[in-house]
């Protein structure tokens, strides 16, 4: 993060919000995870000891105005930092990181999502961050215009575009075009039914449209 700020790869707003050295170590890493519940507080109602759960990256109460309107990263009850989250040190609160033996979830009923029966946890490791990002990129529009064609341009957000393509296919888009310069991501996109992937930087002689 600090390297990205210094090289101007990240927006300078990061330092405006969190200070000149926002992610000073050492601190516990881990922004998102799937976990097993080891203990629950007296007021917890939705999960039990032994449950496998998706743990969101943002600390959110589920009841304040931002949370009730889908802005869980801006929860007003999660602390006095601009954002409250796992894995970024004191700049985002005293919550620790997911790469730990144990992790405290302060609003368990609002935050934890039980893993559906039959799913391997590793298959949904990004369900608390990147998968929802891909979903919200296309799902609201396809609900408004069912069957609409979708164009997805992959790039720096490596997995989010692929998740968006998968969601678009699953929601019945009439045509999903995926464009990227990375061959590995193009192959992954190609495996999605009804998805066409395009690579504008392929050398001459190679196919530009994959079905």
pLDDT at 203 over 70: no
Q: What share of the chain is helix, strand, coil (3-state, %, to 5)?
A: 30, 10, 55
Do 118 and 143 belong to one domain? no
Q: Which domain holds residue 158?
A: 130-210
The three-state secondary structure class of 4 is helix
Taking the C-alpha atoms of residue 105 and residue 187, their distance in angstroms, rounded to an integer, is 37
Dihedral of alpha carbons 134, 137, 141, 147, sign: negative
Do 117 and 151 belong to one domain? no
Do 120 and 171 belong to one domain? no
Do 193 and 101 belong to one domain? no
The whole-number pLDDT of residue 77 equals 94
- Mean local confidence (pLDDT), 183-190: 88
CB neighbour burial string for 87-112, b if at least 16 within 10 angstroms, e if fewer: bbbebbbebbbbeeeebebbbbbbbb
Query: What tokens appear for 170 in the block?
Result: 């699953």
Confidence of residue 157 (pLDDT cuts 50, 70, 90): confident
Q: What is the pLDDT of residues 27-43, one digit of tens each?
A: 888 988 999 999 999 99
Do 17 and 108 belong to one domain? yes
The whole-number pLDDT of residue 194 equals 63
Of 52, 40, 70, 49, the closest CA to residue 139 belongs to 70
Which domain CATH number covers 184? Answer: 3.40.50.720
Region of poorest pLDDT, from 64-68, 71-75, 107-111, 148-152: 71-75
The pairs formed by 191-200 with CB atoms below 8 angstroms and a separation of 24 or more are: 192/165, 192/166, 193/169, 194/169, 195/165, 195/169
Total of domains in the chain: 2
Is 93:18 a contact under the CB 8 Å cutoff? Answer: no
Do 81 and 167 belong to one domain? no
Do 148 and 102 belong to one domain? no
Region of poorest pLDDT, from 40-44, 113-117, 121-125, 169-173: 121-125
The whole-number pLDDT of residue 5 equals 73
pLDDT > 90 fraction of the chain, expressed in percent and rounded: 48
Taking the C-alpha atoms of residue 48 and residue 184, their distance in angstroms, rounded to an integer, is 40
The whole-number pLDDT of residue 195 equals 65
What's this model's pTM, rounded to 2 decimal places? 0.75
Taking the C-alpha atoms of residue 165 and residue 169, their distance in angstroms, rounded to an integer, is 6
Do 42 and 79 belong to one domain? yes
Taking the C-alpha atoms of residue 40 and residue 25, their distance in angstroms, rounded to an integer, is 30
């Amino acid at each position: 993060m600090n390297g990205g700020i210094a090289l101007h790869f990240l927006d300078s707003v990061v330092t405006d919000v969190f200070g000149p050295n926002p992610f000073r170590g050492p601190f516990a890493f881990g922004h998102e995870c799937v976990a097993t519940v080891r203990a629950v507080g007296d007021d917890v109602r939705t999960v039990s000891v032994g449950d496998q759960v998706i743990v969101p990256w943002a600390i959110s109460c589920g009841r304040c105005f931002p949370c009730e309107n889908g802005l869980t990263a801006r929860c007003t009850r999660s602390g006095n930092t601009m954002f409250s989250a796992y894995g970024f040190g004191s700049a985002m609160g005293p919550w620790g990181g997911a790469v730990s033996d144990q992790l405290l979830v302060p609003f368990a009923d609002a935050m934890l999502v039980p893993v559906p029966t039959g799913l391997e946890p590793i298959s949904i490791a990004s369900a608390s961050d990147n998968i929802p990002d891909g979903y919200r990129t296309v799902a609201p529009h396809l609900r408004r215009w069912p069957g609409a064609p979708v164009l997805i341009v992959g790039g720096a957000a490596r997995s989010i575009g692929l998740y968006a393509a998968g969601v678009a296919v699953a929601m019945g888009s009439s045509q999903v075009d995926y464009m990227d310069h990375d061959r590995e991501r193009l192959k992954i996109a190609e495996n999605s039914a009804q998805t066409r992937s395009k690579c504008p930087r392929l050398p001459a002689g190679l196919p530009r449209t994959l079905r």
